[in-house]
Amino acid sequence: MKRSEIPVEKVTINLFEGDFNKLRDMHPRLGGSLVIRSLVRQYLRNVEELQAQRGSPVEFTFDPTIVEQATE
């Protein structure tokens, strides 16, 4: 499916300072927004697959060390 055929929804997310620019720098041909959309889509597919295997919802576990590392 062509990118133009996949509907997108505009949302606002707060990222840690510098993360969007890092994504954009790492993937200059794709851009940060497409990378984020791809990461979210892959995460959702992985969780859905895991839920189907387990037959129950998968809970997200928040790791506070990620926030601590981002603020250092």
- pLDDT tens digits in sequence order for the chain, 72 residues long: 555 688 999 999 999 899 999 999 999 999 899 999 999 999 999 999 999 999 988 888 888 887 766 666
Residue 23 near residue 36, CB atoms below 8 Å: yes
Distance CA 3, CA 9 (A): 13
* Predicted model pTM: 0.74
For the chain, give every domain's residue range: 3-70
Contact 21, 33 (CB under 8 A): no
For the chain, the residue count is 72
C-alpha span between 70 and 18 (Å, rounded): 10
